[in-house]
Chain A
């Protein structure tokens, strides 16, 4: 034993969080692994982008398909899920002033996920597993491709149960009283969805792994069944992201503005709707498949009358609404948008979070609702519109939110000052600009027919060659330029993170990692005022912004139906 022993906990003087040292180490390692994988996956993505630019076409097709498989798996699964493990441990331990249940199992989570991810990487880079992240049979990958995915998933499943166990510990040891904080409630929602997701993945990947070994004669995987079950894993894994980044939005609103949820009841109800209905969205990928009825497709694709869409629309209003209410209580009560104009746009924690909110809502959200209509899907399915859409949700939304909260976590969890603060300040704008224009351009090209996962959209040398409209090729060139800008934004983030945690100025224990934030209600009590807002609306500016989203959604919905009505008749 060393002569000085540290206590098991330290207290963050600004947020008041009681931080358990063991739990903190696990938050750090998971977050660090996530960022490393973001870098690796992002570099593969850059290769994909430079190939899909018709005027550059960097990689030959075989290499392109390998890069695309690697990019999809690493960025869609590995970066995101490692970061989510960090978030779950942060919510269960730090937010509740609690220790982590069974740290040994948490380490098992970390190492299993790491070994699994490495195994998949070896399989893909070996060149004989370029089956895309979806790996639809009868396309076949090397057995260790599936085994790696299974190990990764088992690791994540262990992490989910460590989180649930941590909640049990908190309850039993009374580290909090009353209801769970809203963000932890969001974490529970993500965890429930994650368990459903991972079990679905195991159900289909284990038989597929056995099939790839060719040890049982005549054992094959039905391609349709594979898709039905696989998407309960593939799509739901993206729902974990949505729930996690929405929890992060709520968290940042409180950390930066001293805001509280507009209504605990409404926000929690919206999370509950996610638990009940969000998973049905897996069918979005199966709308043009044979063997499923329209009734089944419509019920599921609409999340049973769009109740999960309703939940997202609620969060989309209540998060900025809570910021507006806090700002108005702090005296920025004039006009519609003073609260937003005077927000700390130079603080990447806030700017990243708000760009994530707007990007997710307008680009990922609206297009997601429209493209998942059973009939509209026919003119969108498997085109470039798809990558456009999910870079709107996953990059402009989830990844931007994760980056924003990382800027807050570095001083608090890693106890280091943000190095290269000037780069950090610009980063959310560069990254979002890239992600937004890239997503929109790809969706434009997809609307004009360009198919996804094509190494060459010119069909060079083919007697039956089809030529896409010039504007579609132009959109691909233009959009991929912004993919490069997005990559620059990602690299800026990674440089800031690495510079901060390895070379940033240490923050001594007990000193403030961030300036103190005044609670909005406390500030309001000092003003002696009774009401805020305009015309009985506490958040009129947010309401106007929400109406803009609403009108955009309605118009875009009907524009797509108008376009659909002009194509060949189908019945």
Chain B
């Protein structure tokens, strides 16, 4: 007797033994839960793709200044598609990329196999850094500067699209927000 919508027929229900199907499943599930937890922690040591979680407070003005300094120091050529400067900071250095309505700038150039300290911030609203076709995605805000050590393992032309809705009208907007990273051999 009994249903899920009536009171338990056995008032001592917490003393009822647990049936075999359930107990084995609970043990198996819990073991998997422990494994997943351990694996996620371990990946910080055994894996090569991890969040760095290094971040600083900044302001759009302060960040713009870093972008301007970077452009003056490391501009190497004009981009064929847009005529804008391509910035190629040396391996190991700090690289600044900004999201703004509606583009990612500057256009960057990296060397394959070298590591860069990539800084991400926004000059206006929230944006999403999304590197394609690698499909690496980070959240970007105004006022916060996130740093990650990035090591390209392939060469070619990579695009940065926007992963967080950032407003817009028909002709321009979230869906037209793009940037580019070239990776040389």
Contact B137 A463 (CB under 8 A): no
| Contact yes or no, B1 A570, CB < 8 A | no
Most buried by A among B37, B154, B162: B37
Please tell me if A538 contacts chain B, counting CB pairs below 8 Å.
yes
Contact A567 B135 (CB under 8 A): yes
Q: Across the interface, which residues of A come within 8 angstroms of B136, CB to CB?
A: 378-379, 567-568, 570
8 closest Cβ pairs, A-B complex? A569-B151, A466-B159, A306-B33, A290-B146, A290-B55, A382-B163, A254-B3, A260-B2
Instruction: Tally B residues with Cβ within 8 Å of A.
Output: 94
Q: Is the CB of A65 within 8 A of B125?
A: no
Q: Which residues of A contact B (CB under 8 A)?
A: 15, 17, 60-62, 65, 95, 130-132, 134, 136, 138-139, 176-184, 222-224, 227, 250-251, 253-255, 258-266, 286-294, 297-298, 301-302, 305-307, 309-310, 313-314, 317-318, 321-322, 369, 373-375, 378-383, 447-449, 451-457, 459, 461-466, 468-469, 519, 521-522, 533, 536-540, 542-543, 546, 550, 553-554, 557, 561, 564-565, 567-571
Given contacts A176-B7, A378-B51, contact A455 B1 (CB under 8 A): no
Are A294 and B53 within 8 A (Cβ)? Answer: yes
CA distance A132 to B163 in the complex (A): 13
Contact in complex: B138, A378 (CB < 8 Å): yes
Q: Assess the A138–B124 pair: CB atoms within 8 A.
A: yes
Write out the residue numbers on chain A whose beta carbons fall within 8 Å of the beta carbon of B165.
65, 131-132, 134, 136, 139, 453
* Distance to closest chain B CB from A35 (angstroms): 23
> Are A251 and B137 interface neighbours, CB within 8 A?
no
- A307 near B33 with CB under 8 A, answer yes
A568-B137 in contact (CB<8A): no
How far is it, in angstroms, between the C-alpha of A554 and the C-alpha of B174 when the chains are bound?
36
**CB < 8 Å: which of A263, A375, A457, A461 contacts B43?**
A375
Bound complex: CA A181 to CA B163 (Å): 45
Say yes or no: B162 contacts A451, CB within 8 Å: yes
Interface residues of B in 148-185 (CB under 8 A from A): 148-154, 159, 161-170, 173-176, 178-180
Asked if A538 and B138 make an inter-chain contact with CB atoms under 8 angstroms apart, the answer reads no
Contact call A298/B41, Cβ cutoff below 8 A: yes
In the complex, chain A residues whose CB is within 8 Å of the CB of B173: 61, 65, 455
Return the CB mask of B1-43 against A: 1 if under 8 Å, else 0.
Answer: 1111111111101101011111011101110111011011101
Known A-B contacts A264-B8, A462-B176; the reply to A380 vs B139 at CB < 8 A is no
Q: In the assembled complex, which residues on chain A have CB atoms less than 8 Å from the CB atom of B3? A: 181, 254-255, 258-260, 519
Give A473 to B13 CA distance when docked, in angstroms.
Answer: 54
CB distance from B84 to the nearest CB of A (A): 9
User: Which chain B residue lies CB-closest to A265?
Assistant: B14
> Contact partner of B18 among A266, A293, A565, CB < 8 A?
A266
State whether A287 touches B51 (Cβ < 8 A): yes
Residue B145 is within 8 A (CB to CB) of chain A in the complex: yes
Closest to A458 in B: B175
Q: Does B81 contact A (CB under 8 A)?
A: yes
Partner of B25, one of A253, A255, A317: A317
What chain A residues lie within 8 Å of B161 (beta carbons)? 451, 459, 466
- Checking A139, A373, A465 against B40 with a beta-carbon cut-off of 8 angstroms, the contacting residue is A373
Asked whether, in the complex, the Cβ of A464 is within 8 Å of the Cβ of B135, the reply is: no
Are B176's CB and A183's CB within 8 A? no
Among B92-121, those with CB < 8 Å from A are 107, 115, 120
Task: Indicate the member of B2, B14, B21, B176 with the most A CB atoms within 10 Å.
Answer: B21
Q: Are A451 and B36 in contact (CB under 8 A)?
A: no
Task: Judge if B65 is at the interface, Cβ distance under 8 Å.
Answer: no
Give the distance in Å from the alpha carbon of A177 to the alpha carbon of B6 in the complex: 10
Asked if A374 and B13 sit within 8 Å, CB to CB, the answer is no
B66 an interface residue at 8 Å Cβ cutoff? no
Can you report 8 A-B residue pairs in the complex whose CB atoms are below 8 A from each other?
A65-B173, A222-B143, A265-B18, A289-B139, A381-B128, A455-B168, A468-B133, A571-B149
Contact of B167 among A139, A181, A310, A461 (CB under 8 A): A139
Residues of B within 8 A of A223 (CB): 125-126, 141-144
> B107: which A residues are within 8 A, CB to CB?
464
CA distance in complex: A227, B18 (Å): 42
Complex CA–CA separation, A461 to B20 (angstroms): 63
With A568-B151, A570-B148, A570-B150 known as contacts, the answer to whether A263 contacts B36 (CB < 8 A) is no
Q: In this complex, what residue of A is CB-closest to B168? A: A61
Q: Are B178 and A263 in contact (CB under 8 A)?
A: no
Contacting pair A266 B21 (CB below 8 A): no
* Given A136-B126, A313-B25, A321-B22: A305 touches B34 (CB 8 Å cut-off): yes
B41: A residues at CB distance < 8 A = 298
Contact of B178 among A184, A265, A456, A466 (CB under 8 A): A466
Would you call B175 and A298 a contact (CB within 8 A)? no
When C-beta atoms are compared, the residue in chain B nearest to A525 turns out to be B1
Do the beta carbons of B180 and A451 come within 8 Å of each other? Answer: no
B128 → A minimal CB distance (Å) = 5
CB <8 Å contact, B167 and A543: no
B48 to chain A, nearest CB (A): 5
CB of A539 within 8 A of CB of B21, answer yes
Q: Which residues of A contact B28 (CB under 8 A)?
A: 550
Q: Once the chains are docked, how many angstroms separate the CA of A421 from the CA of B151? A: 60
Instruction: Given A538-B19, A565-B48, check contact A65 B168 (CB 8 Å).
Output: yes
Q: Give the complex CA separation of A317 and B19 in angstroms.
A: 12
Interface residue from A177, A259, A383 paired with B137 (Cβ < 8 Å) = A383
Minimum distance in angstroms from B11 CB to a CB of chain A: 5
Docked Cα-Cα span, A156 to B49, in Å, equals 42
Given contacts A290-B141, A381-B139, A565-B47, contact A302 B37 (CB under 8 A): yes
The answer to whether B48 and A321 touch across the interface, beta carbons within 8 angstroms, is no
Check B135–A383 contact: CB distance below 8 A: yes
**How long is the Cα–Cα vector from A457 to B10 in the complex, in angstroms?**
59
CB pair B26 A314 closer than 8 Å? yes
Specify which of A15, A302, A567 is in contact with B134 (CB 8 Å cutoff): A567
> How far, in whole Å, are A131 and B164 apart by their CA atoms in the complex?
11
Tell me the minimal C-beta distance from A519 to chain B in angstroms: 6
> Which of A15, A292, A453: most chain B Cβ within 10 A?
A453
A265/B13 in contact, CB under 8 A:
yes
CB-based contact A464/B11 at 8 Å: no
A-B contact sample (7 more), CB < 8 A, given A290-B141, A464-B179: A181-B5, A223-B143, A263-B19, A379-B137, A466-B159, A561-B39, A569-B149
Q: Is the CB of A321 within 8 A of B21?
A: yes
- B32, A569: Cβ atoms closer than 8 Å: no
Given A455-B175, A540-B21, A568-B150, residue A305 in contact with residue B164 (CB < 8 A)? no
* B78 sits at the interface (CB 8 A): no
